[in-house]
Amino acid sequence: MKVYFITLAFFLLCISLDAQSFVNNIEVLKQELDTLQKNNLPLQTIAVNRLGEWVIVFGEWGYSFVNMPSDVKTELQNISAKEMKIIDIDFAKNGSWLMLYGTADHNGDVRDADEKEALNTIRQKEQRLTCYAPMPDSGAVILYGDNSYYKKNVPKLAVQKLKSLQDRHQRVKHFAINSQKAWVILYAGKGISFANIPTDLETTLKSLAETAQTIDKVFFFADKWVVIFDGYKYKCNF
């Protein structure tokens, strides 16, 4: 029994330290977003893992990060050195990750066989990759071309919207989903569709749309969210 309580105490301590690490890293992330906004630097993508360790890609090939895994850091350095534009980065719940860059190029640690096959097919067809969004449990949405997509384990309503946009030949710009399977799709010029998102995010998106702002991307991590609009501006809930 004594060993059990010691083990439980250690486990709870680890959770507490992880939570504090997440909070600290997110505070630094906001500081970096403020700096980029102040300098009018276009924000390309934001990726955050479960510990709040993050990477931001801005401009053509600029980036900054906090405590990224060594393989991610190496890939960022290699692509930046080649002056290739990084399109998107994201982390899946199982620890895998994917980076999209150039046109149809990608690299990472994708562990799902179906996703690997889809990515290789897209590369062979030289289709432009635009967005990678892993699902909360398993699966993903991969956007490519103007309105093509790969999907696995995606909420039914989101799939219906993607199919509708494809049928109408409307360009899908971005897909985002959180751990509760709330999602946002950005399409065409200023089109936006969403389901089950937090009330404060819905209010923010509607306000931006009503004032004719161009919403570029939405990012989720844990219970946090960030909206990028007009290239370099942002709003968030932290």
Q: Tens of pLDDT along 64-120?
A: 999 888 999 999 999 989 999 999 999 998 889 999 998 779 999 999 999 999 999
User: Environment class of residue 20 by beta-carbon count within 10 Å: exposed (0-12), middle (13-18) or buried (19+)?
Assistant: exposed
Ranges of beta strands (E only) in 40-182 are 43-48, 54-58, 62-65, 86-91, 97-101, 105-108, 129-134, 140-144, 148-151, 172-177
DSSP 227: E
Say what the pLDDT of residue 212 is.
Answer: 85
Confidence grade of residue 19 (pLDDT, cut at 50, 70, 90):
low
SS3 45: strand
Side-by-side strand order, sheet with 105-108: 86-91, 97-101, 105-108
- Domain boundary assignment for the chain: 2-236
Say what the pLDDT of residue 78 is.
Answer: 93
Average pLDDT, the chain: 90
The pTM assigned to this predicted structure is 0.89
Say what the pLDDT of residue 50 is.
Answer: 81
CA distance 2 to 7: 9
Domain 2-236 sits in CATH 1.10.1740: no
Say what the pLDDT of residue 1 is.
Answer: 52
CA distance 6 to 124: 54
Residue range 37-60: average pLDDT? Answer: 93
CA distance 35 to 91: 24
Q: Which residues pair with 40 in a beta bridge?
A: none
Confidence grade of residue 16 (pLDDT, cut at 50, 70, 90):
very low
CA terminus-to-terminus distance, the chain: 41
